[in-house]
């Protein structure tokens, strides 16, 4: 039998082919133009990121070269090209614009049209235990993609708008300038040495920095008197201090400080000569020592890095006179014990300039990570310490002998820290004399 085809069925294959071709064309347009849009957006975002990071890096380098640090960071002169902060502003914008140009984007200093770069300055963001200060470099880039197929169904431009924000902070004292810092995060347990402990019968004045405990703040007894001038008394976990304890201002619970402000890069002992051990008076040179001890006579430490490997007391002075200007004492094993019979004692960390490498600018005593031995410094009327004392896993005890007036121009950072004794103790913090973290930047978005 022969089936006759109806005329109404003729041409259906052609219609299906046309519809299939249109569908294939749509998929091709989506694949080709979509890929071009994605690639262009990725390119624009990479360029914006590079531009903001370049500007932030230039701002950080310029701040360092002009001596702009946390203490003198002031946004009021950010738009004054004759001021240091104004020069930082100009350097950030110029570097960001130049970096964009290398990636084939010409941008101005205005983001209203979503195609430019600006820099904003913040110097008063209150974080509780500290004031955050930073510069944000914000880059906006708009890119138009030349499409192949989309213009058949869409007449407008196909463009992508991207943004990048890089944040740079100035050179900042460890722990944002708190003079007494404990890193132990544990809660209080009676009057145990956990966190920061204030005890004894001393009269302590802390000038230019506060007290910060990453966990517990202990007040043991009421015979002591602690006054913090130009700073606060802060803890993050718990405290045994009450309203009747002689601590001024009153302790406040705060959120933790950023971890990055509580760490310091260790010095490099490689290449230093091995000098064995030294006992007694004399003049000694930087190097690797098993122990340094002093009981009488005059011991002078020449400027540089001293790496100590002995135990239990790698550095011990019980009498005599001790001098060291421009020294970093790095204790890999053992502890540090300086008694009240050492008089005078004058130990000072290196200055930031000239470069003290391999010693660390502003770092006086550094107890290595993993070393849990203690640092005990008992001062007297002739005691003078200058620079950061840092023991991230060891305890630090600062005290004074009977009716003496020791001076610690230091920052004390330990796993646990105790301020005790029965003396009048001055702890003076000056950011320019202590260790500081270099300018640091990160990409916000």
Task: State the DSSP string of 110-167.
Answer: --TTS-EEEEEEEEEEE-SSSEEEEEEEEEEEEEEE--SSGGGT--S-EEEEEEEEEE
Torsion angle (degrees, nearest 10) of CA 438, 442, 444, 445: 160
More confident residue, 4 or 312: 312
Q: Is 5 part of any domain?
A: no
Q: Which residues pair with 213 in a beta bridge?
A: 182, 235
**Same-domain status, 52 and 159:** yes
**What does the block give as tokens for 222?**
């009421």
For the chain, the domain total comes to 2
| Pair (371, 233) in one structural domain | yes
pLDDT value for 164: 96
If asked whether residues 235 and 161 sit together in one domain, one would say no
Q: Is 6 a domain residue?
A: no
Same domain, 127 and 192: no
Domain co-membership, 249 together with 140: no
pLDDT level of residue 374 (50, 70, 90 thresholds): very high
Q: Does the pLDDT value for residue 8 go beyond 70?
A: no
* 225 and 86 fall within a common domain: no
pLDDT band at 295, cuts 50/70/90? very high
Lowest mean per-residue pLDDT among 37-41, 101-105, 141-145, 331-335: 37-41
pLDDT for res 401: 73
pLDDT the model gives residue 25? 62
Model's pTM, two decimal places?
0.85
- pLDDT digits 0-9 by tens, 387-439: 999 999 999 999 887 767 788 889 999 999 999 888 788 888 888 889 998 89
Answer yes or no: is 4 within a domain: no
Whether residue 411 lies inside any domain: the answer is: yes
The tens digit of pLDDT for each residue in 109-126 reads 999 999 999 999 999 999
Task: Based on the fold, state whether residues 397 and 415 are members of the same structural domain.
Answer: yes
Single residue among 105, 137, 170 that ends a domain in this structure: 170
Residues 187 and 158 in one domain: no
* pLDDT surpassing 80 at residue 248: yes
On whether residue 21 sits in a domain, the answer given is yes
Evaluated on CA atoms 188, 190, 195, 198, the torsion sign reads positive
Q: What is the band of 269 on the pLDDT scale with cuts at 50, 70, 90? A: very high
One domain, residues 228 and 141: no
Give the mean model confidence (pLDDT) for residues 197-224. Answer: 88
Determine the pLDDT at residue 200.
Answer: 84
- Asked whether residue 157 falls in the same domain as residue 225, the answer is no
pLDDT confidence of residue 318: 95
Average pLDDT of every residue of the chain: 89
pLDDT at 390: 97
Residue 10 lies in a domain: no
pLDDT number for residue 20: 62
The verdict on 274 and 250 lying in the same domain is yes
| Structural domain harbouring 128 | 16-170
| pLDDT over 90 (residue 46) | yes
Pairwise pLDDT comparison (198 vs 35), residue with the higher score? 198
At which of 170, 203, 222 does a domain end?
Answer: 170
């Amino acid at each position: 039998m022969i089936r006759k085809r109806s005329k109404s069925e003729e041409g259906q294959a052609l219609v299906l082919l046309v519809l299939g071709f249109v569908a294939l064309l749509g998929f091709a347009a989506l694949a080709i133009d979509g890929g071009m849009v994605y690639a262009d957006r990725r390119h624009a975002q990479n360029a914006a990121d590079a531009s903001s990071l370049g500007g932030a890096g230039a701002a950080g380098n310029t701040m360092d070269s002009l001596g702009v640090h946390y203490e003198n960071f002031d946004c009021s002169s950010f738009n004054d090209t004759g001021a240091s902060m104004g020069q930082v502003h100009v350097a950030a914008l110029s570097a960001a614009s130049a970096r964009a140009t290398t990636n084939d984007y010409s941008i101005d200093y205005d983001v209203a049209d979503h195609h430019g770069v600006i820099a904003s300055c913040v110097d008063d963001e209150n974080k509780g235990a500290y004031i955050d200060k930073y510069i944000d470099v914000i880059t906006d880039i708009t890119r138009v993609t030349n499409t192949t197929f989309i213009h058949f169904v869409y007449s407008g431009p196909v463009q992508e708008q991207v943004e990048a924000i890089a944040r740079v902070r100035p050179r900042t004292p460890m722990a944002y300038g708190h003079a007494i810092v404990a890193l132990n995060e544990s809660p209080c347990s009676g009057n145990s040495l956990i966190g920061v402990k204030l005890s004894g019968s001393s009269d302590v004045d802390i000038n230019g920095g506060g007290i910060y405990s990453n966990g517990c703040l202990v007040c043991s007894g009421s015979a002591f008197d602690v006054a913090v001038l130009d700073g606060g008394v802060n803890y993050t976990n718990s405290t045994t201090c009450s309203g009747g304890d002689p601590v001024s201002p009153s302790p406040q619970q705060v959120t933790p400080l950023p971890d990055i402000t509580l760490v310091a890069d260790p010095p490099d002992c490689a290449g230093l000569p091995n000098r064995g051990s030294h006992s007694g008076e004399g003049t000694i040179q930087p190097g690797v020592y098993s122990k340094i001890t002093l009981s009488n006579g005059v011991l002078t430490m020449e400027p540089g890095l001293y790496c100590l490997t002995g135990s239990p007391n790698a550095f011990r002075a019980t009498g005599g006179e001790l001098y060291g200007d421009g020294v970093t004492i790095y204790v890999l094993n053992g502890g540090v014990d300086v008694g009240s019979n050492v008089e005078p004692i004058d130990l000072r960390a290196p200055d930031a300039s000239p470069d003290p490498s391999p010693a660390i600018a502003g770092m006086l005593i550094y107890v290595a990570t993993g070393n849990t031995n203690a640092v005990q410094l008992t001062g007297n009327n002739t005691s003078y310490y200058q620079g950061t004392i840092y023991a991230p896993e060891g305890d630090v005890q600062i005290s004074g002998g009977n009716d003496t007036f020791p001076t610690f121009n230091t920052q004390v950072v330990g796993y646990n820290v105790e301020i005790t004794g029965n003396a009048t103790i001055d702890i003076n913090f000056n950011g320019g004399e202590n260790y500081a973290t270099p300018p640091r930047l990160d990409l916000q978005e």
